[in-house]
Structure 1
Amino acid sequence: MAEEKDVKLFAEFAPVTTEEWDAVINVDLKGADYEKKLVWKPLEGFSVRPYYRAEDMKNLEHLQYLPGQFPYVRSNNTNSNAWLVRQDILVEDVKAANAKALDILMKGVDSLGFVFNSCNELTAAELDTLLAGISVVAVEVNFVCCCKSRNLTQLFIAKMKKDGVNLAQVRGSINYSPLRNLTLSGAWCADEAAAFANTKVMIEEAAALPRFKVLSVDGSVFHNSGSTSVQELAFALAMGNEYLAKLTDLGACATSVAKAIRFNFSVSSNYFMEIAKFRAARMLWAKVLTEYGVSECDAKASIHAETSRWNQTVYDPYVNMLRGTTEAMSAAIAGVDSLTVVPFDAAYRNTTEFSDRIARNAQLLLKEESHFDQVVDPSAGSYYIETLTASIAKAAWALFQEVEEKGGYVAAFTAGFVQSAIKATAQKRDMNIATRRDTVLGTNQYPNFTEVVEADVTLEAITRAEATKGAVAESLVPYRGAMAFEALRYKTDKSGKEPKAFMLTIGALAMRRARAQFACNFFACAGLRTIDHNGYASVEEGVNAALEAKADVVVICSSDDEYATYAPEAYEMLKGKAIFVVAGAPACEEELKAKGITNFISVKSNVLETLKGYQTQLGI
């Protein structure tokens, strides 16, 4: 039996070197450039190889650490991957919010987030009503409010003492964050000195609540403004370091500040990159804290994650359920402390009982059926994820140091460095969506042809806000990546017209079907009603069918070789009675243009701008 244990699987096979693998790959590439074809260069700023091997792990220092071991790259925990299932409740009426909280606590939630859109101070009586019947030692209680909520800590502690609660057992947070307010408004709530002085007072008051976080470092504002994962992490680190530096200068204890901080990150759809981001976040924050003399056991990052709002869409909104689920998987595998799955309809209306339940159940399924909470750091040892962790950590640390060289977060933000970096990334992401290099399912690719916009969707929900020019600097502006396409389709839906795009399919079967499918998807992104056909026997038959259908746009779909004959014939027969479009970029394009044909659509088209042009021609 002992001998059997020493048997190595596949020992009879000779090892294959990386050079041998690459040689085979290069043969398959048939002369194509390896770097251009197979090496991914994400916006994060580093290259990702097509495959990784054990030899790539040799220089990764973080592999020596175990779960629960400083610098916590693998987890803050040692024996489980449990996280808190959080659901946020919009508080417009404290009694109604309390009733909803009591209801969802019976449905699997163990973390409550009370969200206040008003900056009015909460009274003691209102807090009593809000928390009535809720055991604050059994569930986590979080308050999401504006920067004027600094008195909430005192109010909350007073209530806990009045109720005879053991303060050491209370878990939760207040997302007090002057730097978040600065980032989103371009101005301080009062002034810079008062902001940090008030923060110091809050932290001192919260010392009576050792498991309660009162200072928020909100990386989600960067993500939802279009940043990369590296930028979100780096700027969040810079924001956290700013608090540490300013508050310790005021005499605060670095350990007390560290214990008061909770990081709030978004989770994008980049599945493996996000797993690596959270692992890198814990490691880098521990590195920052040691520079302030914080002990290793106190250098754990408290991380709350929220699925991406930037990725959500108002068209085909049920796809948001899929997005939220895969994003939740990334966060859970990465070992976050708590997680909110944003309901699928949050982008355009107050969430419903159904959408809340689906969002909540996404996490419960990951726990109760997939058992994601049973294994600590299940991604450990993956060559890909371990390499991504190191790459993100390196890139984020370099950007963090760049911010520090500029004087820290406030100085960098005041100078416009943060805004400029994120704006440049957001423009690239927008262009990728406009040209369909990045797919937003149901919006810029594979739209639901028969969908009519939900009645709850307003123009405001799909309109990107302008940056605010505050007293300090220009603000960041959260938006959603799909907004430009949504506005395009919304304009058609509300125009009172029902423009039709007709597919004049003719010639080679494979090419006409492929191009018809492409063109249908193309025009449906703008809300045009597409009319497809398996194929016409002649151009005349196709043109007559298009005119009978009263088509506004006629798209000829054929092969490159056949376009030289079919396209001019169809163009002449239409005689300007519809916009004539050629699907593809045929070699004879210049010849066709010489004959008056000017409209071509292909995979190289800027779909957004092209469709805007057609809307203008259609008088929409």
Structure 2
Amino acid sequence: MSEPLDLLSHFPPVSDQDWEELIPEDLDWRPIEGLTVRPYYRRGKSTPNHIFKHREWLIRADVEMKDAVRAQLAGADALGFNLPKEKTKLPEDLPIGTIPLFFSGKGATPKLLETLRMRAASKGYAPEELRGSVDISSEYPVCQILDMAKGTRLWTLCISLEPWHEQGATHVQELACALAQLSDLLAEAGSSFATEHLYFTVPVGERYLLDIARLRALRVGAAAVLDAYRVQSQKVNIIGVPSRRYESALDPETHLIRQTLQCVAAILGGCDVVAAPDSDLGLQMQQLMRHEGRLGVAADVAAGAWIIEHMTDALGAASWQLFQQVEQAGGLDRSWDWIEKQIQHARNQRKAAVLSGAEAVVGVNTYLSPEIPDVAPYPNSLAAPLEAIRLRAKALTKKPRVEVRGEHDPWLRRLLSLCSCDIQTQSVNILITKTPTGFTAQNTRGEQASLTSGDPLHLAADQLFRLLDSDAA
């Protein structure tokens, strides 16, 4: 019988230094949010770490109460309701006790929780059959919020990363703030803290690999904080929701694809619940991931992926360091002023990159759909200023006819696309000429405007529209 072929014995190990000396021109180091990301990863850089054990997740359809039964029949595992005000009466057909129900908003009150208890009892369901969440306001003492949920499987104490995310925080800043808030809650509650009623709401954005790593790092960091306070149960419940920071209202198909990636990141990152976008397609999207993509076939499938492990470790270390600074300053409330300044700085940097086109965002500043629907941009999205330009271009009676002389770079192409310009060589409204510092735009009256490559696209578009308006006057 022949000996098994051992190919590895014929190829000696190669060090990182050997690789990097061999292919220096192919190494492109691209930092993301201040974290060093290597252009390649090899075995041994990080140790595989299985952070969570559950395989399945709940698909939550966020709907209005009148659509609850329809969403349940369509295959939702759970239902989410945003209540802008307190409801005095719940619909009779609301499936209380049969599937998890998640309530948020100003209407998520202790009175609502008591109503759910009474309705469940009237239908013959025991309190422990109540599942989901009631996001009770943090105005109540922590111990009281936890006591309200006793006997049920409802989550009532929420740490939401959404406010920091909407303000423009980096992944590190979001994690550090979440850990600091958890520490504050534990300090207030003392030994009576129960993690079975605690949950995190995490917006999952456009940075696919980093979002997977952030979710994993959150579990590790939260477990470390709970351990420091000697909390026996260290179960961490996480709800993943699609981020609206880059929502492109004028490119809904593109945004649906973006939400697909967000959902995959939430699932691979280990979310217990993943909210479906506001459409039947969003629900079907997750059903495809479960039944055809088989994403629930194994737990923590990202474990062992070297770049994910590296990012998890890097995010965990950086956020823990910032969290320690917050703790030394007296907690989240006392240190909020300087944290807010850091978040504002991060937002300004990212906003400038998006508005100038330095950071490509599909459907926002590049690869735009030619068909523009009649909808209002989401006001908190970084896309809003650029979408206002696109709506302004749509209102024109005719597309601007533009001739470009000389080489035009990606920045100019994005500008002309935003303004719905038609590139022509005859009978043009605007002539654009390359200059050493950028471009000069001139209308048929001879009026000119200087365009500097890399400037905010919406401000450059204002100059083009000014020339067009003057032409039409």
1:189-338 equivalences in 2 (<5 Å): 195-197=139-141, 199-209=142-152, 211-248=153-190, 253-254=192-193, 256=194, 258-295=195-232, 298-338=233-273
Seen in structure 2, the aligned counterparts of structure 1 residues 9 and 231 have a Cα distance that, compared at 3 Å, is farther
* Residue pair 1:462, 1:486 contacting (<8 A) in 2 also: no
Task: Please give the secondary structure, in 2, of the residue aligned with 1:503.
Answer: strand
Which residue number in structure 2 is paired with residue 481 of structure 1? 382
Measure, in 2, the Cα distance between the counterparts of 1:41 and 1:484.
27
Measure, in 1, the Cα distance between the counterparts of 2:72 and 2:443.
67
Measure, in 2, the Cα distance between the counterparts of 1:39 and 1:277.
21
State yes or no: 1:405 paired with 2:328.
yes
* Residue pair 2:213, 2:315 contacting (<8 A) in 1 also: yes
Seen in structure 2, the aligned counterparts of structure 1 residues 504 and 218 have a Cα distance that, compared at 3 Å, is closer
State yes or no: 1:12 paired with 2:10.
yes
Q: Which runs of 5+ in 2 are unaligned?
A: none
State yes or no: 1:614 paired with 2:464.
yes
Report the residue type matching 1:242 in the other structure.
D
1:66-215 equivalences in 2 (<5 Å): 66=50, 74-77=51-54, 81-90=55-64, 97-98=65-66, 100-118=67-85, 120=86, 122-123=87-88, 126-127=89-90, 129=92, 131=94, 134=95, 136-137=97-98, 139-146=99-106, 149-178=109-138, 195-197=139-141, 199-209=142-152, 211-215=153-157
Seen in structure 2, the aligned counterparts of structure 1 residues 395 and 324 have a Cα distance that, compared at 3 Å, is same
Measure, in 1, the Cα distance between the counterparts of 2:381 and 2:451.
29
Measure, in 2, the Cα distance between the counterparts of 1:238 and 1:489.
41
Task: Please give the secondary structure, in 1, of the residue aligned with 2:90.
Answer: helix
Task: Please give the secondary structure, in 2, of the residue aligned with 1:411.
Answer: coil
Seen in structure 2, the aligned counterparts of structure 1 residues 501 and 230 have a Cα distance that, compared at 3 Å, is farther
State yes or no: 1:50 paired with 2:39.
yes
1:178-577 equivalences in 2 (<5 Å): 178=138, 195-197=139-141, 199-209=142-152, 211-248=153-190, 253-254=192-193, 256=194, 258-295=195-232, 298-343=233-278, 356-413=279-336, 416-448=337-369, 450-452=370-372, 454-455=373-374, 457-458=375-376, 461-463=377-379, 479-494=380-395, 496=396, 498=398, 500-504=400-404, 515=408, 519-525=412-418, 527-532=419-424, 542=425, 545=426, 549=427, 551-556=428-433, 577=445
Once the two structures are TM-superposed, the CA of residue 383 in structure 1 deviates from its matched residue by 1.1
Once the two structures are TM-superposed, the CA of residue 201 in structure 1 deviates from its matched residue by 1.9
Seen in structure 2, the aligned counterparts of structure 1 residues 233 and 501 have a Cα distance that, compared at 3 Å, is farther
Seen in structure 2, the aligned counterparts of structure 1 residues 617 and 140 have a Cα distance that, compared at 3 Å, is same
Task: Please give the secondary structure, in 2, of the residue aligned with 1:172.
Answer: strand
Once the two structures are TM-superposed, the CA of residue 212 in structure 1 deviates from its matched residue by 1.3
Report the residue type matching 1:485 in the other structure.
L
Once the two structures are TM-superposed, the CA of residue 439 in structure 1 deviates from its matched residue by 1.3
Measure, in 1, the Cα distance between the counterparts of 2:400 and 2:323.
51
Once the two structures are TM-superposed, the CA of residue 520 in structure 1 deviates from its matched residue by 4.5
Deviations 1:68-113 (A, max 9, x none): xxxxxx2142xxx2100001113xxxxxx24x11111111210101
Measure, in 2, the Cα distance between the counterparts of 1:575 and 1:76.
64
* Residue pair 2:241, 2:274 contacting (<8 A) in 1 also: yes
Seen in structure 2, the aligned counterparts of structure 1 residues 518 and 204 have a Cα distance that, compared at 3 Å, is closer
Once the two structures are TM-superposed, the CA of residue 53 in structure 1 deviates from its matched residue by 1.8
Once the two structures are TM-superposed, the CA of residue 443 in structure 1 deviates from its matched residue by 2.4
* Residue pair 1:76, 1:300 contacting (<8 A) in 2 also: no
Report the residue type matching 1:145 in the other structure.
G
Seen in structure 2, the aligned counterparts of structure 1 residues 129 and 14 have a Cα distance that, compared at 3 Å, is same
Task: Please give the secondary structure, in 2, of the residue aligned with 1:263.
Answer: strand
Task: Please give the secondary structure, in 1, of the residue aligned with 2:248.
Answer: coil
Q: Which runs of 5+ in 1 are unaligned?
A: 67-73, 91-96, 179-194, 344-355, 464-478, 533-541, 581-597
* Residue pair 1:552, 1:578 contacting (<8 A) in 2 also: no
Report the residue type matching 2:414 in the other structure.
N
Task: Please give the secondary structure, in 1, of the residue aligned with 2:403.
Answer: strand
Once the two structures are TM-superposed, the CA of residue 18 in structure 1 deviates from its matched residue by 0.8
Measure, in 2, the Cα distance between the counterparts of 1:412 and 1:42.
25
Once the two structures are TM-superposed, the CA of residue 220 in structure 1 deviates from its matched residue by 1.7
Once the two structures are TM-superposed, the CA of residue 616 in structure 1 deviates from its matched residue by 3.3
Report the residue type matching 2:38 in the other structure.
R
Seen in structure 2, the aligned counterparts of structure 1 residues 516 and 202 have a Cα distance that, compared at 3 Å, is closer
Measure, in 1, the Cα distance between the counterparts of 2:127 and 2:268.
31
Once the two structures are TM-superposed, the CA of residue 579 in structure 1 deviates from its matched residue by 5.6
* Residue pair 2:108, 2:137 contacting (<8 A) in 1 also: no
Once the two structures are TM-superposed, the CA of residue 262 in structure 1 deviates from its matched residue by 0.9
Once the two structures are TM-superposed, the CA of residue 371 in structure 1 deviates from its matched residue by 0.3
Seen in structure 2, the aligned counterparts of structure 1 residues 2 and 390 have a Cα distance that, compared at 3 Å, is farther
Once the two structures are TM-superposed, the CA of residue 300 in structure 1 deviates from its matched residue by 1.4
* Residue pair 1:434, 1:609 contacting (<8 A) in 2 also: no
Report the residue type matching 1:276 in the other structure.
A
Deviations 1:441-495 (A, max 9, x none): 12211223x433x23x23xx454xxxxxxxxxxxxxxx1111111122223434x
The structure number with the bigger radius of gyration is 1
State yes or no: 1:599 paired with 2:467.
no
How many residues are aligned here? 469
Once the two structures are TM-superposed, the CA of residue 436 in structure 1 deviates from its matched residue by 1.1
Task: Please give the secondary structure, in 2, of the residue aligned with 1:114.
Answer: strand
Measure, in 2, the Cα distance between the counterparts of 1:517 and 1:306.
33
Seen in structure 2, the aligned counterparts of structure 1 residues 17 and 520 have a Cα distance that, compared at 3 Å, is closer
Deviations 1:324-356 (A, max 9, x none): 00111111111210101323xxxxxxxxxxxx1
Once the two structures are TM-superposed, the CA of residue 14 in structure 1 deviates from its matched residue by 2.3
* Residue pair 1:239, 1:409 contacting (<8 A) in 2 also: yes
Measure, in 1, the Cα distance between the counterparts of 2:364 and 2:403.
21
Measure, in 1, the Cα distance between the counterparts of 2:353 and 2:140.
40
Deviations 1:253-304 (A, max 9, x none): 02x2x22111000111111111111111111111111112111xx2011000
Seen in structure 2, the aligned counterparts of structure 1 residues 326 and 2 have a Cα distance that, compared at 3 Å, is farther
Provide the identity percentage. 23
CA RMSD of aligned residues (A): 2.8
Once the two structures are TM-superposed, the CA of residue 369 in structure 1 deviates from its matched residue by 0.9
